[in-house]
Chains A and B, each alone.
Chain A
């Protein structure tokens, strides 16, 4: 079996590698004690370098009434406003939207049923009714309008790009680099400049969301197309298919389920941007969350966050169901039922345009305030009960792991850290990893925020290790057991889309303002995506392979470690990589709860014009850290086998 031979190869190589790395680390620690404090390149909170000031001065240069950007803005604005007119706000001279709540529920459920199945249709209707009962109908519809606009535009760009990157190796390399940039460059860095291009409001918010949300779709589409077995492509070719036919008849159908995972991730990412976009006056639930947090009203913030999660779950389940539905022509019976359903929907829409009760969600039955009160009580209880204990955990982790790591990174001279990183990259991936490492280290020094970068790096490394450990464990569990998968998925969705601002307040109460709090927030945000990708990869392992292993009497642990994990290797590499990027995406949020360093620099650059340049430099430093870590983890991952190995 391929997996076993490959393990043997790795076993032979691994000791040598790990010995060299061990020696390298020991040398580093020894050198640290000799050289600590030299050339550490510190820079105080309000201090800036010439480069930062230059960036600040040239900030407005970009946004001077450009016709091109104006055209984009107008188009995007129209799209969003059109969607808002349809579902969320008074429009066309009427005091209610074109389609009232009853119509929206009917249309959504019908679509979910037509493209998915009746289960997700019920879920859709129940989910929408729930946000209505929460007293957040209009806000939810605003968020939905913005999300739909951003996701549609994202997919318009992302799917073709993903296909291209899936087919061409060169495009794949370029795309990976740009996607890393898009996903790790903190939104706060481009939020303010975006408003210079696209003015304040829905257009800028949509485009900011698009930048953040498109990458997963590109990445997973490319990943899916590249994972189609070459045999299938060869078979198709040998039967005389053209390239276009191979793409539409073989590659795309075979990669459909992974592409859908990508679309799901895009939707989740778009929804997780809702609160950030609210900072530039994007309408919707994000506003409610931010407003509530001004007075630390966790209950109200949670209520709005819950609505975001519910919308996310509905969208996720419907797209998944649509992706799983086998292609087939509808039977006559189904056509009749679909037609009858369509008439029912039209009736509902008519009602929602005619009667007030069907147009505006009845406000008498509000469960929103009760949810808010319960949340506040639960939060207070958790804080009281666990308060002392959690501080102990924080202090132990900080003193035992984080502080030594940070001291090593920030106390060593920059050239020593650089040399260690480059050597490490060279050992793991030869020049292919070493060259990017040299470039990244050089640019990191040039950004002028070296020491802050090292502080952030220490927290990031720790957070990523935790994310990968938890993500692997949960992912394998969920991948092997469908029931577990069903049970933890809503929790994962909540972790990914509940705006971090909501759980920051309880986290602050539990852990105080500290780097540990930031790490905890990053773990909550990054574990879901890691888990989902791992679970997906484990599920994709052919049943026959697992059964073969079981039939020769392998234990569960052997099946996992010798068969499922090695076969799902590609998915796991992707999961580690995404976990890392999601952790980095939370660096700025970490800056808001006491992590300081790069996250704080970026937030300060957003808030104070004289620090803009430094904020931008810090944002770039986050990207550089992302690229650096990405290249090293990719290089460290075992290489895919050649063709000979597969048979």
Chain B
């Protein structure tokens, strides 16, 4: 037994060596292929946070592509949750955030109090938050899109989690929601159930449409998932400035969000051409969705998706570069 084992080991080693000797005769040597030319000294490198949703990734892909190809910068992408990314402005780990959803409290802390970050203008993308139903429901119950009629349909939305009331499914804990206050103040016979993640929400919508299950849930645009399923928004009483001032008494829809860019103070003062690019970067929901779709649905790498979009929209890119 023992002998056999050693014999086997020796054979294995011998065979490996022989195979190596054979294979090793050919093949390219390490360091032979020409290195990519290292240009763009003046741009240097900057750290770009990538928040965990595809829309953001589309922003990041395009800006990183243009910064690398046109300005010769080195872009270090870091995949971070929003909250952690804000901390990074202080520690120098993050220079650029390309899509910030509100976060007034964090702006106050890092921009006004700590003075480690500055605003760099709108991305041009409009954010919408609200309550949505799957398309089949909007078709079958056309008046469901008015929040006044929701009580009529409450029975449809009962689940094992909602304790006899209709279920309003809430999503990612990253977003501030007024939903509990809204349900109370609009006298809706619903219970807010926390799904806990974007993944859970999307899966719930997919399932609801496929099996024609009723679902009322918190969702937001822009979102790549709208390319797959056109969710229908339920209209809450219209938003007017200041109607959401007191979180406990809010009885109106969510405000439209103007998504904006935040950069570290250090980066803004560095005089890097990349800062001008980030500041000038501005596009539309359609642009973002197009790139997000290539990444999420067509499974292109972010870089390939960016290349495709940039080639098709050269004029827009040139305005960012100040050409």
Q: Report which A residues bind B (CB closer than 8 A).
A: 44-46, 94-96, 100, 102, 106, 113, 117-118, 192, 195-196, 199-201, 278-281, 287, 290-291, 293-297, 333-334, 337, 340-341, 344, 347-348, 351, 353-359, 387, 394-395, 398-399, 501, 504-505, 508-509, 512-516, 591-596, 599-600, 603-604, 606-610
Contact = CB atoms under 8 A, between A and B. Distances in A.
B173 A357 contact: no
B200 interface: yes
Given A94-B31, A594-B161, A596-B194, A505 B203 contact: yes
B12 interface: yes
Contacts of A593: 195-197, 200
Interface in B3-21: 5-6, 8-10, 12-13, 16-17, 20
Interface in B26-80: 27-33, 35, 52-54, 57, 78-80
A295 B227 CA distance: 12
Shortest 6 CB-CB contacts between residues of A and residues of B: A604-B173, A607-B174, A513-B195, A295-B296, A592-B197, A508-B203
Contacts of A594: 161, 193-196, 200
Nearest to A595: B196
What DSSP secondary structure best describes chain A's contact surface? helix
Contacts of A599: 196
B9 A600 contact: no
Contact of A95 (B31, B81, B161): B31
Contacts of B177: 45-46
Interface string B110-134: 0000000000000000000000000
A387 B161 CA distance: 18
A118 B8 contact: yes
Interface stretch (B87-95, B143-151, B256-264, B312-320): B87-95
Scoring A347, A354, A399, A508 by chain B CB atoms within 10 A of each residue's CB, the highest score goes to A508
A513 B105 contact: no
B109 to A, nearest CB: 7
A514 B13 contact: no
A51 B8 CA distance: 67
A117 B2 CA distance: 11
A512 B180 contact: no
Scoring B57, B197, B296 by chain A CB atoms within 10 A of each residue's CB, the highest score goes to B197
Contacts, number: 198
A600 B87 CA distance: 22
Nearest to B302: A291
Interface in B269-323: 295-297, 299
B204 interface: yes
B80 A281 contact: yes
A200 B48 CA distance: 13
A592 B9 contact: no
B248 to A, nearest CB: 9
Contacts of B176: 46, 608
B30 A353 contact: yes
Given A294-B53, A295-B296, A600 B81 contact: no
Interface residues of B, number: 73
Contacts of B296: 294-295
Scoring B6, B54, B199, B295 by chain A CB atoms within 10 A of each residue's CB, the highest score goes to B199
B237 interface: no
Contact of A294 (B54, B80, B160): B54
A94 B30 CA distance: 8
B24 A600 contact: no
A607 B173 contact: yes
Contacts of B211: 387
B192 interface: yes
Contacts of B52: 290, 294
Contact of A296 (B5, B12, B202, B295): B202
A80 to B, nearest CB: 16
A439 to B, nearest CB: 30
A606 B30 contact: no
Given A46-B177, A279-B80, A594-B196, A357 B161 contact: no
Given A508-B204, A509-B203, A591-B194, A294 B57 contact: yes
Nearest to A517: B200
Contacts of B81: 279-280, 606-607
A118 B9 contact: yes
Given A516-B160, A592-B200, A359 B30 contact: yes
B299 to A, nearest CB: 8
Nearest to A199: B91
Contacts of A200: 78, 80, 84, 87-88, 91, 93-94
16 contacts: A199-B91, A201-B93, A281-B79, A290-B79, A355-B28, A355-B30, A358-B27, A501-B199, A505-B199, A509-B207, A514-B159, A514-B161, A515-B161, A593-B195, A607-B83, A609-B109
A603 B173 contact: yes
B31 A513 contact: no
A64 B10 CA distance: 58
B172 interface: yes
Contact of B84 (A96, A192, A504, A595): A192
Contacts of B207: 508-509, 512
B47 to A, nearest CB: 9
A293 B199 contact: yes
A603 B173 CA distance: 7
Contacts of A46: 176-177, 180-181, 247
Contacts of B93: 199-201
Contact of B30 (A96, A398, A505): A96
A68 B173 CA distance: 34
B23 interface: yes
Nearest to A387: B211
A498 to B, nearest CB: 16
B244 interface: no
A625 to B, nearest CB: 19
Given A337-B6, A357-B28, A513 B204 contact: yes
A501 B106 CA distance: 28
A450 B87 CA distance: 31
A353 B29 CA distance: 9
B224 interface: yes
B98 interface: no
Given A200-B88, A281-B80, A290-B79, A394 B196 contact: no
Given A592-B196, A595-B196, 5 more contacts: A348-B16, A354-B29, A508-B204, A593-B197, A609-B86
Contacts of A95: 30-31, 33, 35
